[in-house]
Amino acid sequence: MSSSRAFSLSLLAVAITGTAVLSGCKAVDRTLSNVAVNAIERRITPDLLRSDDVDMMCTFATGNFPLISGGVRALYGSPEYLEAVLLQTSSVCAENQAIEAELRSIRAAREKRIEEAQDARITQKRLLERTARRQLMAFERMTSQIEAEYRIKYGSKCPQFKKDYHELIYLLGTIAGLQAVVNDIAAEQAVGVSTEIAPKAERALRCISNAKWWGAPTAARAVIWNILPGGAEGKDVWGTFQQSMIIGELQGVRISHTLYALSALSIDDQPRFRDAVRRFANPIKNFKANEEFLVVDALSGAIMNNLSDRYWTENTGTRTPVNSLGKFWDDKPANSGNAVNLDDL
């Protein structure tokens, strides 16, 4: 963002805050506050979506959520859409920390350091609780605003979206809800996330275009088919993932690859998990990440790296070697064309 734009937004925020305080009128406060939210959505959010620095984005979201959320609500504004984005992004920081604790636990268990392994596992579950809580909040903020603005019941009727931005939040918030279910189960249901989110999400995802949103809606539905009892009956689950990944690669966003990997792991299908990681690391020729949604592709890459690190650590004691995503310790040169160098191990 240019310095002039940032300065203009700063002046806008100061003017809005000053006017609202002086006016003492709730209606004026609400109007001006929503002007600020709209300015953030139109001017700042697009720049955030174009960033591929996952650590910076989740740190920004974690540090600024109380300021943005509290400030807007204090002036009677409606920041739910923005809160959903910030909470979902912030959950990445907590999830990354949980993965680090899990890797420490795996290494300690391999070395027969029982107390260290147990302590790391406890730390992991605490961090997964934090992750699930943020993801659930993101889901709830999205659903409450969608239901209020479009006068529908989430999962029962499709909203007629006024903006692509709302549709994007609807998709990402729904995926956050599914993640909250999975992470809460891993945290021994410390948050109490309802498993009813899954069937509601499956119906809700039918409301948005698979072709428009990188193949992600149908890929997310396929994940649900795999985890719901009888959900996969009569459906081509794995064929659905393959089609969604092609769409994602053509559009430059590989979130479907990550959903494919998570689904394969949920039923311990290691060949398909490896296929998902390889597909992510080796997309179609001339693949280029979508510049308008770099952060989504980057977040997908961060999750895929975490999954690969866990898989490598369970089997070798160390995480994925540098520049080796999509490769495995037992790859044969004749098949892979480039065997993984394990000298450092």
Helix (H) or strand (E) holding 225: helix 216-227
The answer to which of 4-18, 46-60, 173-187, 210-224 has the lowest mean pLDDT is 4-18
3-state secondary structure of 124: helix
Question: In 3D, which of 91, 40, 96 has the Cα closest to residue 62?
Answer: 91
| 287-294, Cβ contacts within 8 angstroms, sequence gap of 24 or more | 287/249, 287/252, 288/252, 289/52, 289/252, 289/253, 290/214, 290/251, 290/252, 290/253, 291/50, 291/252, 292/46, 292/49, 292/50, 293/49, 293/50, 293/214, 293/252, 293/253, 294/49, 294/50, 294/51, 294/52
Q: What is the model's pLDDT at position 48?
A: 76
The dihedral through the CA atoms of 298, 200, 245, 264 has a sign that is: positive
The answer to which of 7-16, 35-44, 56-65 has the lowest mean pLDDT is 7-16
φ/ψ region of 113 (left if φ > 0, alpha if ψ in -120 to 50, else beta) reads beta
pLDDT higher than threshold 50 for residue 4: no
The string of pLDDT tens digits covering residues 259-278 is 999 999 989 999 999 999 99
Structure tokens at 28: 């004026």
| Contact status, residue 321 vs residue 340, Cβ threshold 8 Å | yes
Q: What is the model's pLDDT at position 23?
A: 44
pLDDT band per the 50, 70, 90 thresholds, residue 31: low
| Contact status, residue 141 vs residue 173, Cβ threshold 8 Å | yes
The string of pLDDT tens digits covering residues 207-222 is 999 999 999 999 999 9
Q: End-to-end alpha-carbon separation of the chain, Å? A: 43
Nearest 5°: CA angle at 52, between 276 and 97?
70
3-state secondary structure of 165: helix
pTM of the model: 0.84
Nearest 5°: CA angle at 19, between 16 and 23?
140
| Contact status, residue 176 vs residue 135, Cβ threshold 8 Å | yes
The string of pLDDT tens digits covering residues 98-150 is 999 999 999 999 999 999 999 999 999 999 999 999 999 999 999 999 999 99
Q: What are phi and psi of 247, to 5 degrees?
A: -60, -45
Helix (H) or strand (E) holding 1: none
CA distance 167 to 210: 12
Q: What percent of the chain has pLDDT over 70?
A: 83
pLDDT band per the 50, 70, 90 thresholds, residue 60: confident
pLDDT higher than threshold 70 for residue 344: no
The dihedral through the CA atoms of 97, 99, 102, 104 has a sign that is: negative
Mean pLDDT over the full length of the chain: 87
CA distance 255 to 249: 9
Q: What is the model's pLDDT at position 37?
A: 62
